[in-house]
Structure 1
């Protein structure tokens, strides 16, 4: 009996640890040249408030913004957008996390290029993500034509 409780306790800790460690692995890559990532993040910072996002943190290589959505009396969503640039990689990471508060339940979902959200949740951040992609494309070097 004691070993069963011990096993269940260890198993639950392993499951919680694996869920928590997977947060940073769920990201959407956005190609930005290393030399201009600071300029791109600064331009995105200036544009995000027009999409309803509040700026919570900004540095030369990262940006954290949050958007709160209330739909109905019992349903609230928090969309958290974290944009980070890594010096050793040629792209920025966009981590998108939606926390849904429905009555007493809390549901946390992550968005990446492999697994999406329901269409109703995707509209919460799709326009902002497209704006970030378009801004990043401005800083990419032009493609060379083959003759």
Structure 2
């Protein structure tokens, strides 16, 4: 975090942090995608292995024998809407499946372990938090300095 001795006369509303919000969202999306591809949950642990019956079923369908990548849709998270100057909010979302099945529901089931082995794939990992912290420190310090923040180092 930025070390602040004294901040005066800063128009916090005028900081326009939409670019920084989008940077954070991009880091989270990339981390989720990489985690699913690598078979790791948001805590850095490997996904629980598939049961033998699930492996057989996936082999029959010609699908990869790894959790959460049968159709390739679980890692297709995206940001909608992206943050703008007028609305500094970005939502990371799971797409609707090609088969019409709502991936939000399926993703939640996997994340919580409701009837299937728990695989916490969707969320903000410690890896992502570290990248976010590193990426934003300099940008936020600069913005605060530009807005008249005295004593920011």
TM-score interval, smaller chain:
0.3 to 0.5
TM-score normalised according to structure 2 size: 0.35
User: Greater relative contact order: 1 or 2 (C-alpha under 8 angstroms, separation 6 or more)?
Assistant: 2
The structure with more strand, counted as a fraction of residues: 1
- Look at both structures and tell me which one has the larger radius of gyration over its CA atoms: 2
